[in-house]
Structure 1
């Protein structure tokens, strides 16, 4: 019954390459990378099983169609000892327990399978996969399976060859046997094998039907539009209606619907002949194509299963030799990609210790960049070049200057009098920014800090010019029986009114610095922790202590404001210096009208001096007592305001901003640290660093892919 294959030696598949393909399929590489293979496809009634039996010489059981419920990979090898090994390869999405059960099963026979033993083996596999004989079996059993049956036949007369059989497609359900869901599953399975760009499709079609109506040919054309990897096989020529033979002949000769690999035609045994154990398929087929016209006019290399087997051997050998270098390159590329993706996921984080180490690594990288930022060492990392938010110290220093300038130019309510020579009080109001208002905030609000954000973003920029009139009204409304002095609370009242803009300006300033600090933390976390879930988890744990720090800064600003408003006082000698200068200017202005200009007594050319008689000084009384007190209040307020303004700006910048938000031991930038991570509970670590179900599945999948590709790399070692 076996054919002598000596004449095929030159076209035989390299047994080493064929063995490597089998191993690549077995180790799971075929789930990720398309592998060279020969796949037999067709309708259920196309005669596909008979063609496969003729090619492989294996007695596929016909009693219940068990072998068509799943893909079957059949491999032949030449060996000194005859044996048949049957195993099951689990499908890609199989659970670990199910996959282990399938891999543990194995059937070994030291002979070629006979019909009875093959049928028994198929029944075992059917049960192992949990398949139902019919939909009525119920209990959640499937009629078809995505698992792969692997049959390896070895013997001294075998030729190295491999073929994959898949279930035949069907369009309608058969009551008590199959469902429309089964039809969809089978079509999807067959399509998956057909779209493999490295597979050669053996498309089996009955010769007695119009090929234009064959769905399997349409699927083949969609998967292989150019027809470069499709070989057509026509069956049932004995059933072709008289007169229709010419259309079939045109297909085989390539005159109609040409395929790159061409068409072949075979004649399977009829149902009665199958039941006859004495029937010889090869003899019956040879007699048909020798004696029956017009089939005896066809080229012999296109008719009969023996010719088809030789043709398939040639096609498979050519396909494997052509595609194997590409497979090796793709395995190496997939291995590199999977390793890189697995590395990006970081270390496994299942236990609290693993999670703590993971969070510690992130915190250490975070602390390193914080140190560079606080020292202004922006050349220490390229992130500073692309992320302005990380240049924290520089941003704070620049904001300090803006704050100081705003307080100096716009912080007072009334403009102080600098020209005492004019007898009239200056009453013209000034708009310090041209009427645009004073911008309190320069940083965009962060959604995390919305509970801290209060007040307007701009305030009125008007500075009133009638300060003497204003002071006069206050003095008249507060004076008592004092002689030449004023109420001790008057200075406090005027100072509070004059510095009323300090609070919104300071509040806007500290909110900006808070947003700078928070923006730094959020931006740096994005860099040191690319995974959004972990980053969000860290931020959720940090938010409470961060907000507490921010509130302390806001409260410190309020504290400084309360101190300034409480009781005006200073020991700064510049107060007396400034006050004395103002008094001298006022005195000089009152006497200048009576001064005369005289040449320099030392005879210096071009130099003159203003002089006044002593009697004129004694008799100079230009002001009333009330006016004198008002101007005195003005000069004291002016001298004190300048000292207090500088002190206030320094205190806000140093105490609220610098110490609490920038350089202090508990500033927000230093909060996320290895010490902070060590204080977290196991539940907090799980929330931050624990892997969610999706990440765990991806890690498992990548680890499997890396393992499969590593095995594949070893299998392919030496392939060029």
Structure 2
């Protein structure tokens, strides 16, 4: 309260009250609170002392009204605190009066800066704090606070009229109740040379901010000197609190009304709740006039009682007249209001604590020192390893993997987190394609059945140059190769190198397909690791970990995987070697198939059907002469063709066995060994964190300045909220 609108003197003893410290507590204030009310107030007071008012909206009384309505005098009458006064000046900022019971008397003043102020100005205002023992010291402190807020003359002739800063005055003493009231600047009707349009809007916005809070009881002060229909505060209260469930109307200056006049009657009807209706009702006070400014509070109360004992006021209930009955009404009203609000306040406190805790969890451990940073990264590596190892093993219990979507694509972002499942799918695609379509020369002599697995379009490019040929075309091609590769072997045999050339030709696509598959799995692993890191730690730390540790490791692992693939391809390109007994069996089977095909052709030529009258069906017979004459055809006179068929059979038998080995080698020796195995350990592990230099640890884990500030703010909030929880645990049970 920088100053008040009620005239008077701020000098020692100016209000007729002693300035000595023993009068800081006043026994008449005991009427303001019952025993139960004090218990409820104790809880709110402890919450306020713990700093909860800066986080949660705590219950409070707000005194608000139009400029010069007498609200500061109302506040002074309720608290019996002689606030400093200056003539013709108004309240220029919100003043929070916190009264609490204590064994020793004291007055503590401080400034709560407007949140919109720059940090440098906030720090300057926050430094203002002072403890006094005598009310006579209060005026100078208020003036100092006023200057600090920038409301004094800065030398340029420009004077700010109002501020959104708050002056907090905490008054403690043995006779003090636990009570918080806020005196707000008076609402301005229009701008003038002393108060600009900006000032008008600032005050209205400030008043709105206070009275719109659901836990605030509004003391709407209206002056009988002015028509109440024109007083802004009543319009605001009806807009913000239409039912009047938390508004009490206070009528001041009734002594300015002419006794027996219609104007007096209209004000009395208002006080009787017949015009503007508030659930909490109305109350009338007579404050000291200018001539009575030097009277004590006892004299003030006696004069007020004498005034209401005459005229029409005698017909009104005593409960709505005077300061003594107002204290009783406020006591009952506050008790009911606070008791009703405490459960929701406790719930809101718990919810806010959960929010703050979650925000802190997102920031991770505190990491200002190298030890804290290394500890933080070690914790991150443990969490990361758990996720990666679970994905590699195919254990998808963690929330990281999300819900299973049976209709989703294996390439969906969420599905790609199920690393083992995706790699298994890709390996199967690779295996099926290799066995069915991975041939540069496609022909039907193998008799392979198509797989029911639907292959992705990724492999389509490998089929663009594939030459499809019939069995006879394949034999002709091999026969020509046999002729051109002939060495010293006897007729009817073929150069052993022919099998190598045929196999190399038939497996020419293996390297490209395998490299494509390895690259694809490596990309899946890289995307997965990025998701795993981002889910474990904040994006800034994740990005640095990825750049310095993960990406180089993944590149190295892919390099080793490709090197292993090159070794496998090199082995494949050497002369065919096999010790599998199945190879001989397959060759014999294919020779038998070729012979059987010729024999069945001969049988079909010798076949004749004769009608049988007894069975009325055609009987099947073979002509012996045709069979005998065709036996020579079973012997192939073209030895090169026979050798070509044998070579093709040997090559196909070897291919069928070797393709299975190649698929197994790529999936096990390349994919499993170099891309999946030890993925967590190689990328981010506790051991790798321990091996990092301090500089690298600091670069990766050091918090940005804004994060440090945010953490400090959140930690302070959390501690404050936890104190609030403890207050409720200790005291709330008494009010259930």
Does TM, scored on the shorter chain, surpass 0.5? yes
CA apart distance, 1:203? 0.7
Residue in structure 2 matching 1:359, options 377, 384, 391: 377
How big is the alpha-carbon RMSD for the aligned residues of Structure 1 and Structure 2? Answer: 4.8
Out of 613-622 and 694-703, give the one that drifted further: 613-622
Q: Corresponding residue for 1:28?
A: 51
Q: Which runs of 5+ in 2 are unaligned?
A: 1-15, 18-25, 405-414, 607-623
- Which deviations, in whole Å up to 9, do the C-alpha atoms of 1:147-170 show, x marking residues without a partner? 3321416476x7775532122233
Q: Using the alignment, how far apart are the partners of 2:516 and 2:630 within structure 1?
A: 54
The 1:138–1:102 alpha-carbon spacing in structure 2 relative to 1, beyond 3 Å, is farther
CA distance in 2, matches of 1:550, 1:276: 92
Q: Secondary structure at the match of 1:168?
A: coil
1:55 alignment partner, SS class: helix
- How far apart are the structure 2 equivalents of 1:577 and 1:45? 113
Corresponding residue for residue 648 of structure 1: 662
1:346 maps to 364
Give the CA deviation at 1:232.
0.5
- Determine which of 186, 190, 198 is the counterpart of 2:215: 198
Q: Deviations over 1:9-40 (max 9, x none)?
A: 88578556545544432331122233332221
Q: After superposition, where does 1:140-219 map in structure 2 within 5 Å?
A: 143-152=162-171, 154=173, 162-170=180-188, 172-175=190-193, 177-219=194-236
* 2:275 maps to which of 256, 262, 282: 256
Is the counterpart of residue 466 in structure 1 residue 489 in structure 2? no
Deviates more, 1:701-710 or 1:585-594: 585-594
Residues 132, 556 of structure 1: CA spacing in aligned structure 2 closer, same or farther, 3 A cutoff?
same
Measured in 2, the distance between the counterparts of 1:6 and 1:167 equals: 25
Partner residue, 2:334: 316
Counterparts of 1:462 and 1:326, CA distance in 2: 75
How do residues 19-418 of structure 1 correspond to structure 2 at under 5 angstroms? 21-63=44-86, 65=89, 68-75=92-99, 83-88=105-110, 90-91=112-113, 93=115, 102=126, 105-109=129-133, 111=134, 113-114=135-136, 117-127=137-147, 129-134=148-153, 143-152=162-171, 154=173, 162-170=180-188, 172-175=190-193, 177-239=194-256, 243-271=262-290, 274=293, 281-282=300-301, 285-286=304-305, 288-290=307-309, 297-324=315-342, 327=345, 331=349, 334-335=352-353, 338-339=356-357, 342-343=360-361, 345-371=363-389, 374=392, 378=395, 386=403, 392-393=419-420, 395-397=422-424, 399-412=426-439, 413-415=441-443, 417=445
Three-state SS of the structure 2 residue aligned to 1:44 is coil
Q: Structure 2 vs 1, CA of residues 124 and 12 (structure 1 numbering), >3 Å: closer, same or farther?
A: farther
Q: Write out aligned runs for 1:462-501 (5 A).
A: 464-473=468-477, 475-476=479-480, 479-480=483-484, 484=491, 491=499, 494-501=502-509
Tell me how far apart the structure 2 counterparts of residues 243 and 66 of structure 1 sit (CA, whole Å): 31
Larger mean CA deviation between 217-226 and 259-268 belongs to 217-226
For 1:277 and 1:654, the matched residues in 2 are separated by: 97
Q: Does 1:521 align with 2:521?
A: no
> How many Å apart are 1:243 and its aligned residue?
3.4
Alpha carbons 1:24, 1:715 under 8 Å: kept = yes
Residues 713, 396 of structure 1: CA spacing in aligned structure 2 closer, same or farther, 3 A cutoff?
A: closer
Name the counterpart of 1:445: none
TM-score, structure 1 length as denominator? 0.76
TM-score norm. by structure 2 comes to: 0.75
Aligned equivalents of 1:336 and 1:640: distance in 2? 67
Residue equivalent to 1:602: none
Q: Per the alignment, in what secondary structure is the counterpart of residue 622 of structure 1?
A: coil
Could you list the per-position Cα deviations for residues 410-462 of structure 1 after superposition, in whole angstroms to 9, with x for gaps in the alignment? Answer: 2332325369xxxxxxxxxx99589x995354xxxxxxxxxxxxx75774697
Distance 1:122 1:474, change over 3 A: same
Aligned length: 668
String of CA shifts for 1:549-568, please: whole Å, max 9, x gaps. 2354345445544653x454
Quickly say closer, same or farther: Cα 1:668–1:470, change in 2 above 3 A: farther
